């Protein structure tokens, strides 16, 4: 989760949607100007006059007030209703099937032996493994991340399938025009 006082935006990070890459992209606006920004995949919570960078990955700790995949209601309660309502809020959404495939590969990547096996077998075997996975998988749900009491609270959705165009639109709407950084590649690409 990100909050920029300078650009007056809140980014609500959804699950398996290029969320970390987009988070890294907007992170400089949430840090003091001219501060170091190393595009790290795992970061600890940073709260400053410039804004908030929530902790992510293995640096997430229960004692952190701000963290990845925080629910919108928690963000609102933590930053205050006035700031939450006044700032431009956005998140990423993704086609449910693509998200399920991404989640499947992410869970396999967490088990290196299985990952190696699946990368060496013919596609029908991978397809069968995916089918078996889908029978019992608890797929990540994002509704509470971008909604409060069942109603969406974001001003814009970036669609994963239209990432570049939607990202440009959000840059314009969040007063981040002229942003020249590239999206960080934070995930393993499956060839």
pLDDT tens-digit series, residues 120-178: 888 898 899 999 999 999 988 899 999 999 999 999 999 999 988 888 889 888 766 55
Higher pLDDT, 70 or 116: 70
Same domain, 38 and 27: yes
pTM for the model stands at: 0.85
Per-residue confidence band for 188, with pLDDT thresholds at 50, 70 and 90? very low
Question: Phi, psi (5° rounding) for residue 164?
Answer: -65, -50
Q: Residue 128: CB partners within 8 Å, gap ≥ 6?
A: none
- Report the alpha-carbon distance of residue 143 to residue 122 in Å, rounded: 35
The answer to whether residues 50 and 5 touch, using CB atoms and an 8 Å cutoff, is: yes
Q: Is the same domain home to 18 and 30?
A: yes
Q: Please tell me whether residues 9 and 19 are part of one structural domain.
A: yes
pLDDT at residue 98 is higher than 90: yes
Q: Are residues 62 and 29 in the same domain?
A: yes
The pLDDT of residue 172 is: 84
56 and 24 within one domain? yes
* Confidence label for 112 from pLDDT (cuts 50, 70 and 90): low
Count of structural domains within the chain: 2
Q: When comparing pLDDT for 93 and 117, which is higher?
A: 93
Give the three-state DSSP class for 99: helix
Question: Is residue 40 domain-resident?
Answer: yes
- Per-residue pLDDT for 119 more than 50? yes
Radius of gyration of the chain (CA): 17
The CA-CA-CA angle for residues 58, 145, 33, to 5°, reads 65
Q: Which two tokens stand for residue 147?
A: 């909604």
117 Cα distance to chain centroid: 28
Residue 188 maps to a domain: no
Is residue 116 pLDDT above 80, yes or no?
no
34-80 pLDDT tens trace: 887 777 777 888 999 999 999 987 655 667 889 989 999 999 999 99
Grade residue 117 by pLDDT with cuts at 50, 70 and 90. Answer: confident
In-domain check, residue 37: yes
Cβ(11)–Cβ(1) below 8 Å: yes
145 and 59 in a common domain: yes
Identify the bridge partners of residue 158 per DSSP, sorted by sequence position. Answer: 92
- Which tokens belong to 18? 């290029």
Based on the domain organization, do 110 and 49 belong to the same domain? Answer: no
Same domain, yes or no, for 118 and 64?
A: no
Question: Which residue range forms the structural domain that includes residue 88?
Answer: 2-95+140-173
pLDDT at 189: 30
């Amino acid at each position: 989760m990100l909050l920029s006082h300078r650009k007056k935006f809140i980014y609500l990070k959804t699950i398996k949607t290029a969320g970390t890459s987009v988070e890294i992209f907007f992170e400089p606006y949430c840090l003091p100007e001219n501060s170091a920004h190393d595009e790290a995949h795992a970061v600890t919570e940073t709260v400053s006059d410039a804004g908030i960078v929530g902790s992510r990955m293995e640096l997430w700790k229960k004692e952190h007030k701000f963290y990845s995949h925080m629910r919108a209601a928690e963000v609102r309660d933590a930053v205050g209703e006035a700031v939450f309502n006044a700032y431009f809020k956005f998140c990423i959404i993704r086609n449910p099937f693509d998200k399920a495939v991404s989640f499947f590969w992410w869970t396999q990547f967490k088990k290196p032996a299985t990952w190696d096996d699946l990368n060496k077998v013919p596609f029908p075997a991978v397809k069968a493994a995916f089918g078996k996975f889908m029978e019992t998988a608890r797929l990540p749900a994002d509704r509470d991340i971008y909604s409060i009491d069942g109603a969406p609270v974001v001003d814009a959705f970036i669609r994963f399938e239209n990432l570049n165009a939607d990202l440009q639109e959000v840059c314009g709407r969040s007063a981040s025009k002229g942003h020249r950084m590239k999206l960080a590649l934070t995930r393993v690409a499956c060839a």
